[in-house]
């Protein structure tokens, strides 16, 4: 999936545990969760392998929420966004509702631009990321 390079572009690929902007233990390309523990040390290749596996799992959870055909570029943009916000938030979003209603891509892709806050504040990095995801989403 072409989303992996997009995710690495925005998340980076850090092979050791670090604290994200909210203090959550994070590793590799923004990966969090119960199997991410403080003190982890991985190789860059291990991080890329983890990304490929987890991205397939995440997409498998998220794809059923999408009821209309989408392009490869739209799928990459949505996969990057869902990776960042989580499957529950993504599936329950106005973006997915608009997509599934059959609204034009210009309308539902624009919803990406609203997802720029974390920890109750707008983050410049998320603004930049969403602009990139939006550009990918509306790409022909």
Catalytic residues: 11, 20
SS3 111: helix
Taking CA atoms, 1 is separated from 9, 47, 72, 81, 138, in Å, by: 14, 16, 9, 14, 18
* Chain Cα centroid distance, residue 86: 7
CA–CA distance, 36 with 67 (Å, rounded to integer): 32
């Amino acid at each position: 999936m072409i989303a992996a390079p997009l995710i690495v572009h925005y998340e980076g690929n850090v092979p050791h545990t670090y604290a994200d902007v909210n203090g959550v233990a994070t590793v590799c390309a923004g990966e969090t969760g119960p199997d991410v523990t403080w003190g982890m040390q991985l190789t860059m290749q291990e991080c890329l392998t983890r990304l490929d596996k987890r991205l397939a799992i995440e997409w498998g959870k998220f794809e059923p929420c999408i009821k209309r055909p989408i392009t490869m570029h739209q799928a990459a943009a949505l996969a990057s966004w869902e990776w960042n916000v989580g499957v529950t938030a993504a599936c329950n979003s106005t973006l997915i509702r608009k997509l599934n209603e059959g609204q034009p891509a210009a309308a539902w892709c624009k919803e990406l631009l609203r997802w720029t806050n974390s920890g109750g504040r707008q983050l410049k990095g998320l603004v930049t990321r969403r602009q990139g995801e939006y550009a990918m989403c509306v790409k022909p």
